Amino acid sequence: MSENFVDVMEGTKYSIVCKRSYAAKETVERNRHILGQIIKETNLLSMQSIAVRGHIEEKSNFMAVLKLNAESDPVLNEHLKHGKETSKMS
């Protein structure tokens, strides 16, 4: 236990507070990136007067554009593949 204290004080390890703060910051930045992409795609559809929804939600215009964008965006791609169902826009 005292070894951890010495390592933190010497700067060779991060404290638990710093680690949690860094993890929270990464989560916020990731979520902002995903939300930014969703807003960008929604704006594109609205500027072009394209309906957001389709006959089937999985094949909606919105999801088609979002999946196309996800091919070149690893963060968005990971979110679409592995995100919670309640956090996906479809």
SS (H, E, C) 24-49: HHHHHHHHHHHHHHHHHHHHHHHHCC
Distance CA 78, CA 76 (A): 5
Distance CA 41, CA 30 (A): 17
Averaged pLDDT, 4-33: 74
- DSSP assignment letter at 71: T
Q: Which of 14-18, 20-24, 25-29 has the lowest mean pLDDT?
A: 14-18
pLDDT of residue 90: 47
Amino acid of residue 10: E
pLDDT > 70? residue 89: no
Task: Read off the pLDDT of residues 35-86 as tens digits, 9 standing for 90 and up.
Answer: 999 899 999 999 989 888 877 766 788 888 988 999 999 999 999 888 776 6
